[in-house]
Amino acid sequence: MIGIIKLVAKRLGFGLVTLFIVSLIIFWAVEALPGNLAEQVLGQAATPETVEALSKEMGLDRPAFVRYIDWLSSALQGDFGSSLANKRSVSEQLEPRFFNTMFLAGLAAAMSIPISIILGVLAALWRDSIFDRGANVVTLTSISSPEFFLGYILILFLAVQNPIFPSISNVSEGMTLGERTFATMLPAITLTLVVIAHMMRMTRAAIIALLASPYIEMARLKGEPRWKIIVVHALPNALAPVINVVALNLAYLITGVVLVEIVFVYPGVGQLLVDSVQKRDFPVVQACCLIFAATYILLNLLADVGAILSNPRLRHPK
- Which among 299, 300, 291 is positioned nearest to 269, based on CA atoms? 291
Nearest distance from C-beta of residue 172 to another protein, angstroms = 21
Residue 250, interface with another protein (CB under 8 A)? no
- Interface residue with another protein, options 147, 180, 196, 200 (CB under 8 A): 147
Residue 152, interface with another protein (CB under 8 A)? yes
Q: Which of residues 163-182 bind another protein (CB under 8 A)?
A: 167
Total Cβ atoms within 10 A of residue 173: 8
- Which among 167, 178, 157 is positioned nearest to 103, based on CA atoms? 178
CA distances from 54 to 13, 40, 47, 75, 82 (A): 39, 11, 11, 22, 14
- Which range of residues in 96-104, 128-136, 212-220, 222-230 is near another protein by CB under 8 A? 128-136
Nearest distance from C-beta of residue 129 to another protein, angstroms = 6
Q: Which residues, 6+ apart, have CB-to-CB distance to 303 below 8 Å?
A: 243, 244, 246, 247, 248, 251
CB-based burial, 275-290: b 16+ in 10 Å, e otherwise: ebeeeebbbbbbbbbb
Residue 137, interface with another protein (CB under 8 A)? yes
Tell me how far apart the alpha carbons of residues 297 and 307 are, in angstroms, rounded to a whole number.
Answer: 15
Q: Residue 82 carries which DSSP code?
A: B
Residue 278, interface with another protein (CB under 8 A)? yes
Residue 194, interface with another protein (CB under 8 A)? no
Q: Which residues, 6+ apart, have CB-to-CB distance to 304 below 8 Å?
A: 11
Query: With respect to another protein, which residue has the nearer C-beta, 80 or 292?
Result: 292
Q: Which of residues 281-310 bind another protein (CB under 8 A)?
A: 282, 285-286, 288-289, 292-293, 296-297, 300
Nearest distance from C-beta of residue 156 to another protein, angstroms = 6
CB 81 within 8 A of CB 167: no
Residues that contact another protein, how many (by CB under 8 A): 51
Nearest distance from C-beta of residue 2 to another protein, angstroms = 28
Q: Please give the angle made by the CA atoms of 209, 114 and 95, to the nearest 5 degrees.
A: 115
Q: Which long-range contacts (CB under 8 A, 24 or more apart) does 1-6 make?
A: 3/315, 4/308, 4/309, 4/315
Residue 130, interface with another protein (CB under 8 A)? yes
Nearest distance from C-beta of residue 267 to another protein, angstroms = 16
- Interface residue with another protein, options 64, 118, 160, 232 (CB under 8 A): 160
Residue 144, interface with another protein (CB under 8 A)? yes
- Which among 251, 246, 291 is positioned nearest to 268, based on CA atoms? 291
CB 16 within 8 A of CB 298: no
Query: With respect to another protein, which residue has the nearer C-beta, 157 or 236?
Result: 157
Nearest distance from C-beta of residue 87 to another protein, angstroms = 19
- Which among 36, 82, 89 is positioned nearest to 61, based on CA atoms? 36
Nearest distance from C-beta of residue 183 to another protein, angstroms = 17
Residue 58, interface with another protein (CB under 8 A)? no
Residue 134, interface with another protein (CB under 8 A)? yes
Nearest distance from C-beta of residue 159 to another protein, angstroms = 8
Q: Which residues bind another protein (CB under 8 A)?
A: 18, 21-22, 25-26, 29-30, 32-33, 129-130, 134, 137, 140-141, 143-149, 152-153, 155-156, 160-161, 167, 251, 254-255, 258-259, 262, 273-274, 276-278, 280, 282, 285-286, 288-289, 292-293, 296-297, 300
